[in-house]
């Protein structure tokens, strides 16, 4: 790294400018009906999709064209199913009668499509993980929201969830270890190995199916979903000695599904690693199973020991690095936006969803929980800076924090505080939710207004820089970006389903005053499930069936 020594006055000036900017934000959201604004953006996006891409799994807001993902050409419900619970939540919480009527009509339209058009008996290979978290999770959450908010016909969603769950569940039965191959043909039931990476399954993918499968068992009383999905853990923990010195609770991102042995040595909390850790904690929060809390705590201890670092810029931002060559190798400061979920996860792990002021008074509060709480705030601050310092106010897909590895190159964009860089191929934004997700959790757990200020700032940047306006119809839509640094932004032609399912939902809940995080647990696609009742678990004999 070829950096000259930064004078103290420059650091002081940067901090002063930052503090002034924070004070300037005081005039932002309090004078506005932010929930109404977010509802309006959702309805603009949804209406554009309904009018121009209805039923398609993939949609381009610029071209106004869509397509389905499967080779059969049949729809999977990728956008519709992923979005239904967001509409139900907004319908229930909106204070605007016109919006409530519109949400009610759109929910009815989507429900009729799910009931009459959506059919999973199709000759299409689908990714087990993505289909589980988006489609199965979306259907189960729609069932829950329909029952809770008394909107729609909950039976439609449950019946479709059972049908899809049965098709996905067969993926657990076709390898010697019970670890699913990466894909399955929904029609034939044949599981298919990953076409690349020597057939390896992504470690995060097959360990991010359990919330959905366990909730399906909890609703239906059929324990097979629970039993099959939890069985993936024993081979990886025992065959690799995950709790031993070599891994210390941190897992490589690929696993051979036939042997249960890890493949390669890359360890990270970004893609293919992230939700492994997320579902350890969330299974405990959802089901009360104590084993997963112990495993989560052990992994967090390993993360803090081996992956945690601070940038060498003016703000000394905290980040979770990557180990490309195992724990003994150097720590890379590459940081996926995906990792920004960790702020919310650590905060929930520390407090169990209770407000911080209440959690610290509980008998089990200890220095580890305080450390996790502090780290949650630090990582969320780092992720916010990935927005604040970018010209468009929107984060790139990946940043590299200023450290000794990797070495800065001249064509990398440099942040104003010199805390991070952006490589030329990482300047895109696909409407990801992880930062606003953590802001939502941190606000409701801490009560600190700054998280709402930051969230509103990000929301306005999305509105300003991702909106596309049809000059003929004067209608608006929102799309991904090729480049967040060049102004005006270079727009891509794709609306991710998680823009509707996650990003706008988490922004909306950030500004809602009635969110009880002890009663619901969000899956990794932001689909809320109710915390399980222990009496029903006992009646169904649903318990942890393995030991590491």
* pLDDT of 31: 57
The crossing angle, in degrees rounded to 10, of helices 367-388 and 434-446 is 130
Cα atoms in the 13 Å half-sphere on the side-chain side of 189 = 9
Question: Residue 241 CA to chain centroid, in angstroms?
Answer: 28
CB 369, CB 293: distance < 8 Å: no
Q: Burial code of 294-317, b = ≥16 C-beta within 10 A, e = fewer?
A: ebbbbbbebbeebbebbbbbbbeb
Per-residue pLDDT tens digits for 231-242: 999 999 999 999
Q: Is position 130 annotated as part of the catalytic site?
A: yes
Residue 249: count of CB within 10 angstroms of its CB: 21
* pLDDT of 3: 41
Q: How far apart are CA 145 and CA 312, in angstroms?
A: 46
Per-residue pLDDT band for 328 (boundaries 50, 70, 90) equals very high
Per-residue pLDDT tens digits for 489-504: 999 999 999 999 999 9
Question: Residue 213 CA to chain centroid, in angstroms?
Answer: 18
Per-residue pLDDT tens digits for 74-132: 999 999 999 999 999 999 999 999 999 999 999 999 999 999 999 999 999 999 999 99
Q: Is the dihedral of CA 517, 523, 529, 535 positive or negative?
A: negative
150 has pLDDT over 90 = yes
6 has pLDDT over 60 = no
The pTM for the full model equals 0.94
Query: Which listed residue (39, 74, 82, 130) is catalytic?
Result: 130
Q: Which two tokens stand for residue 68?
A: 């389905």
Strand partners for 429: 481
Per-residue pLDDT tens digits for 426-485: 999 999 999 999 999 999 999 999 999 999 999 999 999 999 999 888 899 999 999 999
| Mean pLDDT on 130-153 | 98
In 100-162 the beta strands, taken as DSSP E runs, fall at: 125-127
* pLDDT of 4: 40
Per-residue pLDDT tens digits for 164-190: 999 999 999 999 999 999 999 999 999
Tell me whether the omega of the peptide bond preceding residue 488 falls within 30 degrees of 0, making it cis: yes
Q: Which residues contact 185 (CB under 8 A, 6 or more apart)?
A: 123, 124, 125, 126, 191, 192
Query: Which listed residue (106, 274, 278, 336) is catalytic?
Result: 274
25 has pLDDT over 90 = no
Q: Provide DSSP, 275-336.
A: HHHHHHHHHHHHH--HHHHHHHHHHHHHHHHHTEEE-SSSS--EEE-EEBTBTTSPEE-EEE
In this structure, the strands spanning 65-67 and 58-60 are: antiparallel
Query: Which listed residue (397, 419, 437, 502) is catalytic?
Result: 397
64 has pLDDT over 60 = yes
Q: Is position 274 annotated as part of the catalytic site?
A: yes
Query: Which listed residue (372, 434, 483, 496) is catalytic?
Result: 434
* pLDDT of 380: 98
* pLDDT of 76: 97
Phi-psi region of 38 (alpha: psi -120 to 50; beta: other; left: phi over 0): alpha
| Mean pLDDT on 47-57 | 98
Question: Residue 102 CA to chain centroid, in angstroms?
Answer: 27
Name which of 192, 189, 190, 294 is nearest 233 in CA terms: 294
Name which of 247, 227, 236 is nearest 177 in CA terms: 236
* pLDDT of 310: 98
200 has pLDDT over 70 = yes
Strand partners for 520: 530
CB 367, CB 277: distance < 8 Å: no
2 has pLDDT over 70 = no
Per-residue pLDDT band for 29 (boundaries 50, 70, 90) equals low
Q: How far apart are CA 378 and CA 368, in angstroms?
A: 15
For the chain, list the domains and their CATH numbers.
46-286 (1.50.10.10), 311-512 (1.50.10.10)
Q: How far apart are CA 479 and CA 463, in angstroms?
A: 10
Is 177 one of the annotated binding-site residues? no
Per-residue pLDDT band for 404 (boundaries 50, 70, 90) equals confident
């Amino acid at each position: 790294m070829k950096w000259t020594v930064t004078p103290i006055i420059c650091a002081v000036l940067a901090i002063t400018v930052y503090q002034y900017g924070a004070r300037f934000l005081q005039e932002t959201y309090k004078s506005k009906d932010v929930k109404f604004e977010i509802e309006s953006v959702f309805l603009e996006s949804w209406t554009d999709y309904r009018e121009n891409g209805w039923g398609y799994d993939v949609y381009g807001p610029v071209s106004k064209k869509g397509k389905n993902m499967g080779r059969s050409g049949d729809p999977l419900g990728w956008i519709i199913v992923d979005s239904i619970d967001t509409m139900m939540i907004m319908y229930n919480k909106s204070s605007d009668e016109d919006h409530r009527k519109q949400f009610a009509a759109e929910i009815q339209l989507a429900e009729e499509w799910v009931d009459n058009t959506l059919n999973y008996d199709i000759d299409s290979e689908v990714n087990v993980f993505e289909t589980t978290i988006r489609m199965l999770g979306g259907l189960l959450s729609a069932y829950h929201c329909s029952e809770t908010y008394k909107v729609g016909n909950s039976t439609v969603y449950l019946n479709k969830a059972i049908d899809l769950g049965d098709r996905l569940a067969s993926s657990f039965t076709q390898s010697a270890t019970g670890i699913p191959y990466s894909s399955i043909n929904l029609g034939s039931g044949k599981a298919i190995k990953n076409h690349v990476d020597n057939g390896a399954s992504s470690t995060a993918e097959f360990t991010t199916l359990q919330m959905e499968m366990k909730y399906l068992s909890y609703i239906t009383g059929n324990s097979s979903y629970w039993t099959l999905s939890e069985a993936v853990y024993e081979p990886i923990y025992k065959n690799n000695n995950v709790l031993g010195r070599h891994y210390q609770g941190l897992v490589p991102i690929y696993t051979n599904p036939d042997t249960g042995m890890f493949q390669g040595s890359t360890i990270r909390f970004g893609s293919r690693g992230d939700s492994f850790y997320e579902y350890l904690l969330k299974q405990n929060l959802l089901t009360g199973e104590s084993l997963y809390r112990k495993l989560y705590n052990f992994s967090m201890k390993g993360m803090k020991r081996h992956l945690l670092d601070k940038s060498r810029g003016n703000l000394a931002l905290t980040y979770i690095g990557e180990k490309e060559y195992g724990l003994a190798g150097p720590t890379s400061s590459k940081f996926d936006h995906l990792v920004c979920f960790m702020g919310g996860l650590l905060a929930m792990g520390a407090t169990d969803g209770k407000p911080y002021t209440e959690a610290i008074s509980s008998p089990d509060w200890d220095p580890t929980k305080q450390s996790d709480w502090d780290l949650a705030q630090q990582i969320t601050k780092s992720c916010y800076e990935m927005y604040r310092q970018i010209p468009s106010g929107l984060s790139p897909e990946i940043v590299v924090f200023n450290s000794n590895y990797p070495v800065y190159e001249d064509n990398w964009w440099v942040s104003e505080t010199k805390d991070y860089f952006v490589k030329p191929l990482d300047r895109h934004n696909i409407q990801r939710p992880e930062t606003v997700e953590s802001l939502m959790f941190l606000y409701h757990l801490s009560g600190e207004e700054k998280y709402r200020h930051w969230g509103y700032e990000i929301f306005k940047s999305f509105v300003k820089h991702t909106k596309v306006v049809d000059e003929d119809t004067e209608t608006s839509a929102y799309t991904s970006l090729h480049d967040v640094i060049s102004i005006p932004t270079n727009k891509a032609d794709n609306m991710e389903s998680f823009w509707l399912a996650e990003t706008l939902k988490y922004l909306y809940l950030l500004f809602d005053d009635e969110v009880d995080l002890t009663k619901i647990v969000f899956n990794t696609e932001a689909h809320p499930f109710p915390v399980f009742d222990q009496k029903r678990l006992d009646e169904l004999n649903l318990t942890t069936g393995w030991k590491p």
